[in-house]
Structure 1
Amino acid sequence: MSPKSMKQQMAKQFVTGEQFNAILTIFTEIEQETVEAVQEVAGVTDGMDGIEEIPSAEDRQAILQEMAQKVITGEFPEWYLQRMAPIDNAEEATEYVGENVEDLVEKWAENLRDQGVDGGDRELATAYARSRFDVEDLDEFEELITWDEEKVQQTMEDVVAGGFTTAQNTAREAANIHDS
């Protein structure tokens, strides 16, 4: 068994273990109850739609288990692109994680020129990124494939705290509508 597959197996055992699942169950149930309570407030607040979609505690638990496993195995950026990022052809995009975007600009521009398309390198690369990955521009694509420890930590926090952040924002919106 390779070191990578051994690490993946150990991570899977950890995130599917009884103690980890007990913690996740507590967390996701409290999160769901909080979101539902805030949704009730939004429901009785005139001029407010509330939270569009409330994932089940089981769905959130599955996402958090997957995330924990990918963090442990060092595959978090790829997982995030495939599972959470608003991007087309995510599996292909994961191949570019850690790549220098200037190398991609050169490669993509050359490929498009070989197909008879004219334009500057960045213009062509931006057109390619837009059409292939449905991103606004090359900078957005670069942001998706560029990762450091700080970004991993912040993105993990965003995924973990997502339900609570949504509930907080909705509660604040309801309070602002009430004060108006």
Structure 2
Amino acid sequence: MSAIWYECKVKYRKTDETGGQKVTTEPYLVDAVSYTEAESRINEEMGAYVSEEFKITNIKVANYAEIHPFENADRWFKSKVTLMAYDEESGKERKTNMYLLVQANDVKEAYDNTITVMKNTMGDYTIPAISESPIMDVFPYFSGEEGELEQLERFNALKASKPELVAVGDMGETVEDLIEVENE
């Protein structure tokens, strides 16, 4: 059975960079079998993150076929993938769209990650659009079975990893010095 993802919008008071508080509404993605379970799961997940009161303002079925976290990425991108198939009866080419939620740091990396995800696809496909998604976090379902524990831990480790920032010149070295060190 494939996962059904629900987009849940949660309204709560958030502290910004300056220390001030403002009310914000942010979307989160939850893997569930019904709206009722999605509401229950988002209440449980947000209860761990938000210390104050919060309100669920909307729950809807999200149209993502697959969710793919990647290491050292901090944003989610929606990739539109068009699968192309040849219909032998009518002699026409048929196109089917599906949407992937891919974790990346920018649009180019999201494109590369989408190509990586699609590399074992047997048919032809194109990627007509990639856009940054407003999704703040993704909460996959976990039944408690041992085999799924490892899979859930891997998913959470991938999505929680932060991008590595490389600062050139902090220690006085130049780009040429760094290139020489890498070549040695």
TM-score by length of 2: 0.27
In proportion to residue count, which structure has more helix? 1
TM-score by length of 1: 0.28
Higher relative contact order (CA 8 A, sep 6+): 1
In proportion to residue count, which structure has more strand? 2
